[in-house]
Structure 1
Amino acid sequence: MIPSWIIIGAVTFFVALGSFLITPRDVKWFAHLSRPRWLVFEPLIPIIWTVIFICGAASANVVWQKNPGGIITWLLMGLYLLVEMITVAYIPVMLRFRSLKAGEILGLMGLISGVVLGVCVLPISGLAGLLLLPYLVWTPIGTYTTDELKEINPQDA
């Protein structure tokens, strides 16, 4: 039998590959946007998201280990998957539609679904809830940054 952490890690990895739906033309649009002066951490964003995805997968594995195969566990795995899909969709959707508003909406959807996930997971495992904290801290920062980009680049809102 394949260990759950391998399956959860593989699903996380393959869903994250969805970010490769970005075309060079889309990236050029985003690269030309004006940025707030305080946005000095932009080069660290890929590392930050890698850590967040690893923590999310670890959280899912902790929840799975508490009650493997239970109906509530499967529903939570679906919620973990939904949160990751919303998160991964943020960049490709925003770039494809060249709409910062679309990115902001997905950021808010990710935050809300992440909070719901955290509330559902916390009674099952404090560790699983703690592992969701990076997502719950970073998502509002990313959403706020997108909102600031909208303010600075109203023509691309």
Structure 2
Amino acid sequence: MHKSWLLPIIVAGIAAIGVAMLGTTITDLGPWYQSLEKPGWTPADPVFGIAWTLIFALAAVAGVSAWRAAPSTRVSDTIIGLFALNGFLNILWSLIFFRMQRPDWAFAELLLLWLSVGALIIFCGRYSRLAALALLPYLGWVSIAGALNWQVIELNGPFG
């Protein structure tokens, strides 16, 4: 492996693991979550861990690919900033949904998360087709999460 790839891979891997660990720490599948009525198509709990592991691995690949293809420092800084914003929004959703127990507010925040994934796909796709393709499962999963979040609101609301 070429040395110029090593540092971005390490940084992207650490960032992905950090976001995943924070999200996991905030996610509480305890009594409150278990008591929520959920639609019949809700994936089994282990599916979420598998999906997020794959999504974060693909996001790291996308980040490295786009960053390496960036034509300037300004573009590479923008890519890093977009990924940082996305990581923040990802963690924030878990905080609002699980810790604050506000699926209604979490749904509004999830719309921002979905837009941030879309922005990553569009911006990174300008420089790396691989990056855009690697982020498509993330957009799909956030779309599924949004539909599930909405169903939880309809089946259990109002909240607060």
Aligned to 1:128: 131
- Between stretches 8-17 and 110-119, larger displacement belongs to 8-17
Shift of 1:153: 0.4
Change (3 A) 1:48 1:33: same
Aligned residue for 1:109? 112
Q: How has the CA–CA distance of structure 1 residues 16 and 31 changed in structure 2, closer, same or farther, with 3 Å as cutoff?
A: same
1:16 to 17, 20, 43: 20
2:52 alignment partner AA: W
Contact 1:107 1:140 in 2 (8 A): no
2: CA distance between counterparts of 1:135 and 1:145?
A: 15
Deviates more, 1:84-93 or 1:134-143: 84-93
| Counterpart in the other structure of 2:10 | 6
Deviation at 1:18, TM superposition (A): 1.7
Residue in structure 1 matched with residue 34 of structure 2 by the alignment: 31
RMSD of the alignment, in Å?
2.1
**How far did 1:152 drift?**
0.6
CA shift, 1:40, in A, is 3.8
Letter of the structure 2 residue corresponding to residue 4 of structure 1: P
Distance 1:156 1:13, change over 3 A: same
- CA drift of 1:92 comes to 2.2
Alpha carbons 1:27, 1:95 under 8 Å: kept: no
Contact 2:23/2:90 (CA < 8 Å) preserved in 1?
no
Q: Which amino acid aligns with 1:60?
A: G
Instruction: Measure, in 2, the Cα distance between the counterparts of 1:55 and 1:33.
Output: 31
Give how far 1:22 is off.
Answer: 3.0
Give 1:20 shift.
Answer: 4.6
Count of residues in Structure 1 that have an aligned counterpart in Structure 2? 156
Change (3 A) 1:68 1:10: farther
Measure the CA separation in 2 of the matches of 1:139 and 1:20. Answer: 16
Gaps of 5+ in 2: none
1:118 — aligned with what? 121
- Separation in 1, partners of 2:85, 2:30: 25
- 5+ residue gaps in structure 1? none
In the other structure, the counterpart of 2:91 is 88
Q: For residues 27 and 106 of structure 1, what CA distance do their matches in structure 2 show?
A: 22
Aligned in 2, Cα 1:122/1:151: closer, same or farther, shift over 3 Å? same
Aligned to 2:140: 137
- The ranges of structure 1 where at least 4 consecutive aligned residues each deviate by more than 4 angstroms after the TM superposition are none
